A = this chain, B = another copy of it.
Amino acid sequence: MATVRLLPHAEASPDAQRVFEDIKRVRGVDDVNNFWKALANSPALLQGVWSQAQQAMQPGALDALTKELIHIAVSTANGCEYCIHSHTAAARAKGMTDEQHAELLAVIAMASQTNALANALQVPVDEVLKK
């Protein structure tokens, strides 16, 4: 259960409905995901997040799949169940292979372990890394 109602199209405000329509058009889907239905309780927040998501996740100097992998990495470190599911699905939809997924997991595991060790040891940053 969410901490707010998930608003279906019919119950969303006109502003929220316009964002829903935009999401469906851009993504070529029939309905928006629960995340957007939850955000629709605040049309301003819904609009802001959708707008920033489009800008941040679009291909540029990094391609769209690489951006999804980075999103999964952050979501995993933050333990966000919803985000891990939705961005793993998005990465697959953008072509992530099983081999790429396995290597992503190996890097996430490695980094998590290294983060913990560097923290526990309180390793000072090398001068050569600070330029």
Contact = CB atoms under 8 A, between A and B. Distances in A.
Given A66-B69, A70-B69, A33 B126 contact: yes
A119 B74 contact: no
Q: Tell me the interface secondary structure of chain A in the complex.
A: helix
A117 B125 contact: no
30 contacts: A2-B122, A33-B128, A35-B114, A38-B123, A41-B101, A42-B105, A45-B102, A56-B103, A56-B109, A57-B110, A60-B103, A61-B97, A61-B100, A62-B107, A66-B66, A66-B69, A67-B103, A74-B76, A74-B112, A78-B115, A82-B125, A83-B111, A83-B115, A83-B118, A85-B130, A86-B129, A105-B121, A108-B116, A109-B116, A109-B117
